[in-house]
Amino acid sequence: MFIFPETEKKLKSRISSYKSSMKKEKKEIGFINDGSGKRYILFSLYFVLNDLDKFEEYVGWYNEEFPDDVGEPIQKLCWSLGLYRANKTVEARFMLAELMLSNLYLIPHVIGENLEKEYKIWHSTNFHYLDYVDDLPKEVKESISKTEIEWMRECYNSLEFRRIRKRYIEIYHELLAVREIEERSVLLKEAYSLLSTLQRS
C-alpha cells in the first residue's frame, strides 16, 4: 500500500525523488522501465499538491516518455480532474470516460453511488475489479471538491456515458462465455471503439 506524504514539503520531495529516479533509469539503460508504477503515483501527488503548471508540465513529459501507455484508473481520475481544474473540460470529460471503462466502480465510489457487487463480466486486469477502489488514497479523495464531484456525477449520468457504459458491460459479459478467438477479437474491437464518438479536445 502506498504511503502518502504527510506535508507539502514531503510531497514535493517525493515528487522530486520519483522524477529523478526515472530520469536516472533512462540515462543508465536508455528507457524507463518503472516496474513500481512511479509514473502513475506522480499523478496523485501532483493532484494533491494542486500546482497546475507543474501538473501540465508533468503530463507533457509523461506523454512523451510513455506514448502508448494504457495507464491505470486512479491515474486517470487525477488526470481528468487536473484537466478540469485547468479549464480543459473537453479533454477532462474524455479522460473521465477512459477512467469509467478502465474501472466501472471508481467513479460511483467517488461520487457517493457505491456499488455493492461486481458486474458479471470478464475482468481482463486487476485494475478492473471492485476492490480496486480500496487503493484510492484518502488524500486524493479528500482533495476532490464538491464542484468536481458534481461535474463527475453530471458526466457519469449523462446519456452518452450511460450508453457507452451499458454497451461496454454487455460486451464484457459476452466475453465470459466466448472462447473463439475471432469472435472475441470482434467484440474487443467494438469495446475499444466505444469512446470514438466523444470529442477528445
Burial class (CB in 10 A: 0-12, 13-18, 19+), 170: middle
Q: What is the mean pLDDT of the chain?
A: 95
199: pLDDT confidence band, cut at 50, 70 and 90? confident
Q: Mean pLDDT across the stretch 118-145?
A: 95
pLDDT at 151: 99
Given pLDDT bands bounded at 50, 70 and 90, which one contains residue 200? confident
The total domain count for the chain is 1
Residue-range definition of the domain harbouring residue 152: 8-158
Residues 122, 175: contact at Cβ < 8 Å?
Answer: yes
Residue 169 lies in a domain: no
Is residue 195 one of the residues assigned to a domain? no
pLDDT (mean) for 69-89: 98
For the cut 70, the answer to whether the pLDDT of residue 7 exceeds it is yes
Task: For residue 163, give the C-alpha cell.
Answer: 450508453
Tell whether pTM > 0.85. Answer: yes
Q: Say whether pLDDT at 1 is over 80.
A: no
Q: Which of 97, 93, 74, 73 is nearest to 83 (CA)?
A: 93
Asked if the structure places residue 49 within a domain, the reply is: yes
The answer to whether position 201 is within a domain reads: no
| Alpha carbon distance 130, 59 (integer Å) | 27
